[in-house]
């Protein structure tokens, strides 16, 4: 990737891609050094809170604190799960296969702590690989340094483990990794939202300089969003690099390239009716009039390849996931982009290898967003927009009193409704013809 | 000609991996030593100098860079070849360490071939 290309891509978008290359480089390093072949595939990336990692990292994990200098200035964390901890450490010190498998299954915190030296060295190699790759793929990157290693249950006292609250906002990237016939394991990176804040103005000479390891006091989800009061006079510029775009309790995963949309919605919701160039009556239009009544449905066992094909055929950017007549998840085009190997997409496609096609076979149940927040058919448009803004999501299924999903509203349906010439509500007939 | 080697790394695991990889490279040493940090290495070098030191950079007590500087002050270590072994790959840092008196630099991950390439010139 050239520097010019990279600079035109928001950092939050580059980071999961560059980090995936970095993690794959670590795997190649281990292969070169120890002759151990490790597979690595991105299985999830997006804005969420660290507690969304609970399904992947239960009870015991190794957490590496990394201090970054340069375009990313501050601390982020890398985490490997219990299986990774015992498996990689066992392979490093040449433990027999059956012993490694036993530890992966039954290893305790006490046993893991005895491996601290090895686990720390694994982190050193991971950070070294990441540093090399970031230097190549992230313009402006200077240096990564592993500053701490914790072997712990990260959910017992998350505030002591992570640089942000467990329900705070960050960019999460999760990989599934495999070694031979050992059980698969997970690794993840946790980038706090504060890392993506634009550089602050140079302080006055007599003002103390903030140090890189001082966490930001301001909650990440507030700092990442322009405040409503300021928006009447200073709307966010459209070319501002977006920040991770999901509040702490949002159940759905969104990618970071959505910020301008949130800004627009926020402005619309919070602007004075008299100042809005719209007929405000449209804001009371119920969801059932605006919704798309024929959303795309997929099965949780469908592959990424199938999902891509069906979404393309239906010109849909969202799909609802159904199992046994129940909606169990929602999938966005952005979720898919984050799940597939970055080598399948620009700007990395020139490096595409046969192995990268394997990511097309990932089942969507592994990365779909769930649980799904819904609205009722009579929810007014303003409430729909407010819900989307509040929870930083761009699609809301419409569920009737019996619990059946009867439609889907995305930001595109909303724009369509708002942009009607008379600002009158579109008819159900026109809505049923289109998909998002 | 018999040669001696010291591996300086705060990680016992990494010292073993380096030792294993050096052996795989086909290089043979009649004496090998280990040290967990720069202070320990300097103390050992004072009494029993070696021909080649493989040294990590980021270590507690005394870093590898400081160890190089102090080793160069020891009269019996003037001819000792010191090769840094680290995940740190910044060219700026490598240049600085070489300027301080190190004789070479190997970036982790390393391979037997890499050790062979870097150490063989000092074995004759």
pLDDT digit string (tens) for A14-51?
788 889 999 999 998 888 888 888 888 888 888 888 88
User: What does residue A371 show for φ and ψ, rounded to 5 degrees?
Assistant: -70, 170
User: How many CB atoms are closer than 10 A to CB A378?
Assistant: 13
pLDDT tier at A422 (50, 70, 90 boundaries)? low
Each residue's pLDDT tens digit, A243-298: 333 333 333 434 334 444 444 444 444 444 444 445 567 788 889 888 999 999 99
Residue pair A305/A361 in contact by the 8 Å Cβ criterion:
yes
Residue B110: list chain A partners with CB under 8 A: 33
Q: What ipTM was reported for this prediction?
A: 0.85
Listed residue (A166, A185, A208) closest to A48, CA to CA: A166
Give the nearest partner residue to A128 out of B16, B21, B87, using CB atoms.
Answer: B87
d(CA A358, CA A41): 9
pLDDT at position A227, please? 34
Give the nearest partner residue to B89 out of A30, A92, A128, using CB atoms.
Answer: A128
Give the nearest partner residue to B108 out of A128, A143, A145, using CB atoms.
Answer: A128
* Reported pTM: 0.57
pLDDT at position A118, please? 92
Average pLDDT in chain A:
75
Q: Which chain B residue is nearest to residue A117, measuring alpha carbons?
A: B11
Residue pair A334/A257 in contact by the 8 Å Cβ criterion:
yes
Tokens of A131: 């540093």
Listed residue (A190, A435, A220) closest to A333, CA to CA: A435
A36 in B contact zone (CB under 8 Å): no
Each residue's pLDDT tens digit, B31-88: 999 999 999 999 999 999 999 999 999 888 889 999 999 999 999 998 899 999 999 8
Each residue's pLDDT tens digit, A115-171: 999 999 999 999 999 999 998 888 889 999 999 999 999 888 888 888 777 667 788
Residue B13: list chain A partners with CB under 8 A: 92-93, 117-118, 121
Residue A32 makes CB contacts below 8 A (sequence gap 6+) with B109, B111
Each residue's pLDDT tens digit, A187-209: 999 998 888 766 555 444 444 33
User: How many CB atoms are closer than 10 A to CB A322?
Assistant: 15
pLDDT tier at A109 (50, 70, 90 boundaries)? very high
pLDDT at position A300, please? 92
In sign, the C-alpha dihedral spanning A302, A304, A306, A308 is positive
| pLDDT of A110 over the 70 cut | yes
Residue B58: list chain A partners with CB under 8 A: 124, 145
DSSP state of A64: E
Contact B108 A34 (CB under 8 A): no
The DSSP result for A111-155, as a single string, is HHHTTHHHHHHHHHHHHHHHHHHHHHHSTTEEEEEEEEEEEE-TT
pLDDT at position A45, please? 83
Calculate how close chain A gets to B110, using CA atoms only, in Å: 6
Residue pair A424/A284 in contact by the 8 Å Cβ criterion:
no
Interfacial A residues in 192-251 facing B (CB < 8 Å): none
User: What does residue A225 show for φ and ψ, rounded to 5 degrees?
Assistant: -115, 135
Listed residue (A360, A331, A329) closest to A344, CA to CA: A360
Residue pair A382/A418 in contact by the 8 Å Cβ criterion:
no
| pLDDT of A2 over the 80 cut | no
Tell which of B10, B13, B111 to mutate to test the A interface (max A CBs under 10 Å): B13
**CA distances (Å), origin A84, targets A90, A119, A154, A189, A190:** 9, 10, 15, 14, 17
Q: What is the distance between the terminal CA atoms of chain A, rounded to a whole angstrom?
A: 32
């Amino acid at each position: 990737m050239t520097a010019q290309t990279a600079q035109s891509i928001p950092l939050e978008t580059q980071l999961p891609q560059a980090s995936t290359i970095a993690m794959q480089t670590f795997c190649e390093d281990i292969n070169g050094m120890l002759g151990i072949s490790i597979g690595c595939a991105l299985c999830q990336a997006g804005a969420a809170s660290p507690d969304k990692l609970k399904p992947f990292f239960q009870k015991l994990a190794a957490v590496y604190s990394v201090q970054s200098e340069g375009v990313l200035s501050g601390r982020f964390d890398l985490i490997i799960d219990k299986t990774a901890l015992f498996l990689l450490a066992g392979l490093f010190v040449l433990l027999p296969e059956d012993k490694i498998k036993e530890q992966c299954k039954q290893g305790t915190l006490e046993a893991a702590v005895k491996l601290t030296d090895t686990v720390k060295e694994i982190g050193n190699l991971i950070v070294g690989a990441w540093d090399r790759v970031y230097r190549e793929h992230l313009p402006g990157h200077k240096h990564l340094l592993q500053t701490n290693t914790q072997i712990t249950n990260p959910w017992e006292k998350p505030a002591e483990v992570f640089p942000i609250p467990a329900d705070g906002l960050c960019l999460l990237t999760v990989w599934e990794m495999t070694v031979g016939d050992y059980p698969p394991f997970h690794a993840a990176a946790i980038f706090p939202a504060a890392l993506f804040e634009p550089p602050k103005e140079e302080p006055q000479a007599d003002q103390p300089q903030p140090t890189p390891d001082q966490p930001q006091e301001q909650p990440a989800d507030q700092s990442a969003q322009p405040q409503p009061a300021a928006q009447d006079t200073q709307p966010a510029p459209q070319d501002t690099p977006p920040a991770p775009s999901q509040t702490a309790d949002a159940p759905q995963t969104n990618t970071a390239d959505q910020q301008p949309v949130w800004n627009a919605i926020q402005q619309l919701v919070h602007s004075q009716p008299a100042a809005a160039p719209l007929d405000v009556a449209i804001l009371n239009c119920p969801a059932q009039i605006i919704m798309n009544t024929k959303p795309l449905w997929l099965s949780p066992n469908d592959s990424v390849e199938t999902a891509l094909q069906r979404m393309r055929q239906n010109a849909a950017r969202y799909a609802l996931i159904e199992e046994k007549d129940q909606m169990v998840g929602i999938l966005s085009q952005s979720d898919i982009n984050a799940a597939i190997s970055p080598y399948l997409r620009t700007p990395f496609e020139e490096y595409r290898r046969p192995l990268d096609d394997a990511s097309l076979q990932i089942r969507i149940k592994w990365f779909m967003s769930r649980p799904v927040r819904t609205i009722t058919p009579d929810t007014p448009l303003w409430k729909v927009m407010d819900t989307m803004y509040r929870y930083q999501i761009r699609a809301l299924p419409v569920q009737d009193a019996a619990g059946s999903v009867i439609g889907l509203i995305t930001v595109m349906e909303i724009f369509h409704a708002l942009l009607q010439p008379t600002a009158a509500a579109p008819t159900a007939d026109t809505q049923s013809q289109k998909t998002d | 000609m018999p040669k001696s080697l010291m591996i300086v790394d705060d990680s016992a695991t990494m010292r073993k991996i380096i030792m294993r990889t050096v052996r795989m490279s086909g290089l043979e040493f009649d004496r090998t030593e280990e040290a967990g940090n720069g202070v320990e290495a300097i103390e050992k070098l004072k009494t029993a100098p070696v021909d080649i030191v493989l040294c990590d950079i980021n270590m507690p007590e005394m870093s590898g860079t400081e160890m190089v500087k102090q080793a160069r002050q020891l009269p019996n270590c003037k001819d000792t070849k010191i090769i840094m072994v680290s995940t740190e790959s910044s060219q700026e840092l490598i240049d600085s360490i070489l300027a301080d008196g190190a004789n070479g630099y190997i970036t982790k991950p390393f391979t037997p071939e890499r050790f062979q390439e870097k150490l063989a010139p000092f074995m004759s």
